[in-house]
């Protein structure tokens, strides 16, 4: 890969990182081609982009982002320099989620459960969400878009439901009083 191709690849990666709601850095070491292909298919179904990327390209793409703690030293002579974070070492696949922040992590978890024995070594190295690095397990617990929308809708509807209850309460009390008065009148025979 020449310098022009590297620059283009870094620019493309930077654009994907900027557009994504969340990113999962995945260790796929030990998976055979068939299993990785099935994993890619699952990512595609959920609208998650997945690509195997060189760690140096990831590090260059993130060097001016909120995730720069992953990068380490990028100078040519880095023998004594700070090392990059463990999540950008070894075999790294990157899963970008553009709609649901927990989609990639949930797919990895579900895929491991469905492919016991084949995908045991599959794991999320780290998750990137809102400028913060989080553990892969924690990324899977982030509420999805549907759950968040439902929660917001519930918060919006709660005051209206309380208002309706408060408006109906006096009428219900009057009906209760009238029923008691009618029952008392019937019991006394008048």
Segments forming the whole domain that contains residue 190: 143-190
Domain endpoint, select from 142, 159, 178: 142
Domain match, 94 and 186 both: no
Phi, psi dihedral angles at 80 (to 5 degrees): -105, 5
Written as one string, the DSSP assignment of 84-96 is PPGGGSSS-EEEE
User: Does residue 36 share a domain with residue 130?
Assistant: yes
Q: For the chain, percent helix, then strand, then coil, each to nearest 5?
A: 55, 15, 30
Same domain, 77 and 121: yes
Question: Which of 88-92, 139-143, 173-177 has the weakest average pLDDT?
Answer: 139-143
Query: Are 118 and 170 contained in the same domain?
Result: no
3-class SS of residue 83: coil
* Residue appearing with tokens 């995730």: 67
Give yes or no for residue 113 having a pLDDT over 80: yes
Residues 165 and 117 in one domain: no
Q: What is the pLDDT of residue 44?
A: 92
49 φ/ψ angles, rounded to the nearest 5 degrees: -80, 135
Positive or negative: CA dihedral 48, 49, 55, 57: negative
pLDDT digits (tens, 9 = 90+) for 29-38: 888 898 889 9
Q: What's the mean per-residue pLDDT of the chain?
A: 81
At 113, list the tokens. Answer: 């459960």
Residue 83 belongs to domain with CATH number = 3.30.70.1730
């Amino acid at each position: 890969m020449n310098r022009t191709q590297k620059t283009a690849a870094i620019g493309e990666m930077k654009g994907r990182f900027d557009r994504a709601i969340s990113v999962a850095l995945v260790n796929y070491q030990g998976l055979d081609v068939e299993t990785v292909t099935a994993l890619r298919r699952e990512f595609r179904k959920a609208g998650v982009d997945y690509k195997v990327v060189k760690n140096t390209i990831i590090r260059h793409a993130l060097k001016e982002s909120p995730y720069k703690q992953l990068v380490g030293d990028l100078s040519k002579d880095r023998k004594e320099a700070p090392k990059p974070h463990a999540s950008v070492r070894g075999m790294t696949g990157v899963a970008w989620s553009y709609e649901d922040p927990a989609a990639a992590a949930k797919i990895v978890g579900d895929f491991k459960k469905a492919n016991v024995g084949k995908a045991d070594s599959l794991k999320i190295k780290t998750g990137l969400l809102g400028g913060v690095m989080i553990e892969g397990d924690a990324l899977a617990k982030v509420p999805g878009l549907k759950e968040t929308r439902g929660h917001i809708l519930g918060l919006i509807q709660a005051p209206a439901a309380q208002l309706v209850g408060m408006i109906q309460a006096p009428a219900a009390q009057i009906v209760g009083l009238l029923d008691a008065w009618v029952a008392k009148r019937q019991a006394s025979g008048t």
